Structure 1
Amino acid sequence: MYLTQIQYNIIGRVINTIETGSPEGDYGAISIYADGPHDIRQITYGRAQTTEYGNLRKLVQMYAAAGGLYSAQLAGYAPYVGSKALTDDMAFRGLLRDAGRKDPVMRAVQDRFFAETYFDPAMRWADDNGFIKALSALVIYDSFIHSGGILWLLRHRFTESPPASGGREEVWIDEYVRARHDWLSNHARPVVRKSKYRTEGLMAQIEAGNWDLFTEPIRMNGTDVFSG
């Protein structure tokens, strides 16, 4: 997978828009959803939204070690993220919000965190399976951000093989996104059903043939990712 810097930046802006509504990314964005283990409420945080019971502890630990404005205060929370419910801890939420919006160190840490934790593994999967197009990179990265990877339960819903196994890249991506859209649209959790705007936006780019991601506009949930 080779991406130009422009394509890499566009992919980042698309994911930022999907997650926080802003192409530039809202590094202090906090949402609370009942989508944690056993449907418990949890914090989602940052420009690409990592979760309290997912990788938020890793992000807080990275920031605590980076010497930012709020590192000392957040360091005390780091051991408890994901093991002790902090959803209603307003002091913790305030520190996260302030760090994301006021401290350039947190913004730099988030950029590195989301690359190391989600983007790099997504591109390794793309390489291993023979994908080369920028829109494919976006689809795969979005699946890693939103679902933790390429879901096997969805791969069993269509027959096309990945390019590394002789399949056609555009067909595989189209069929995967459509299978994912159907899964999101009919999910048991209402909060997951609401996220089908992700796949709606991706299907629009596939239908437009925007495989290099250079064709404007690219809209996600009503927002043009080239604006701002």
Structure 2
Amino acid sequence: MNLTDKQKLICEQIINVFETGSTQGNYSAISIFHDGPNGIRQVTYGRSQTTEYGNLEELIEMYVGRNGIDSEQLQPYLPKIGVTQLVDDHEFQQLLKDAGKNDPVMRSVQDVFFDKRYFQPAMNWADDNGFTLALSALVIYDSFIHSGSILPFLRKRFAAVPPNKGGDEKTWISQYVDARHQWLATASNPELHPTVYRTQCFKDEIARNNWDLSKLPINANGIHVSGV
């Protein structure tokens, strides 16, 4: 997907706001949600909140490989992440917070990690399905951050087909955002209900016809994003 540097930055800043409430991202942020396997509690961490039972092990492995300040203390946790529940291990969580707050190596590793693990796969999916617009990129990227992918069951809830199958890009994105908004608002997991601020932001930008993300600032859950 051929985004300009500013369009990519706007996408990243909006996701940072969604995840940690700051356009620059909070690299030390930790949250606990009941969204692990079978609904168990799990740690989510970092600028764009990777999960204990998702890709947190990969992030910490990258950090240890870069010999960050807290690498030695975090290394023994590598075999445990995603295997032994660490949601109540306060020492582990404090190490994560300290590394994210105080170590430039952790911040650098997170930037590389979130780009490789989420942004690039999202853009590859967008390319494969024929999407070209910056707002489409934002919607798709957010789905990869928040849900891991474009969830197949949501694609069955609306009629539009993607551009690579002859569909209209704006129609597909609009219908997908509506379907995702409805799902978040009514999901069986009540922790998803408040996250409709994500899809509401997209609905607002669709209504503003802001497909190239040039109409700034963008209101992301009450925080203005301008790509600066």
The secondary structure found in structure 1 opposite 2:3 is coil
Say if 2:143 is the partner of 1:140. no
Shift of 1:197: 1.0
Report the number of matched residues.
228
2:13–2:227: 8 Å Cα contact kept in structure 1? no
Shift of 1:227: 8.2
Extract unaligned runs of 5+ from structure 1. none
- The ranges of structure 1 where at least 4 consecutive aligned residues each deviate by more than 3 angstroms after the TM superposition are none
Cα deviation 1:36-87 (Å, max 9, x = unaligned)? 1111111110010011111111111111111111111111111111100111
Say if 2:71 is the partner of 1:71. yes
Aligned to 2:88: 88
Give identity over the alignment, percent.
Answer: 55
Cα deviation 1:172-224 (Å, max 9, x = unaligned)? 00000000000110001111112111111111111111111121121111111
Matches of 1:40 and 1:22, distance apart in 2: 27
Computed over aligned residues only, the root mean square deviation of the Cα atoms, in angstroms, reads 1.1
Matched AA of 1:3: L
2:7–2:227: 8 Å Cα contact kept in structure 1? no
1:23–1:226: 8 Å Cα contact kept in structure 2? no
Cα deviation 1:93-135 (Å, max 9, x = unaligned)? 0010011111110001001110111111111100000000110
Matched AA of 1:132: T
Extract unaligned runs of 5+ from structure 2. none
The secondary structure found in structure 2 opposite 1:83 is coil
Using the size of structure 1 for normalisation, the TM-score is 0.98
Using the size of structure 2 for normalisation, the TM-score is 0.98
The secondary structure found in structure 2 opposite 1:88 is coil
Matches of 1:96 and 1:203, distance apart in 2: 35
Matches of 1:206 and 1:98, distance apart in 2: 39
Matches of 2:201 and 2:90, distance apart in 1: 34
Matches of 1:104 and 1:225, distance apart in 2: 24
Shift of 1:226: 2.7
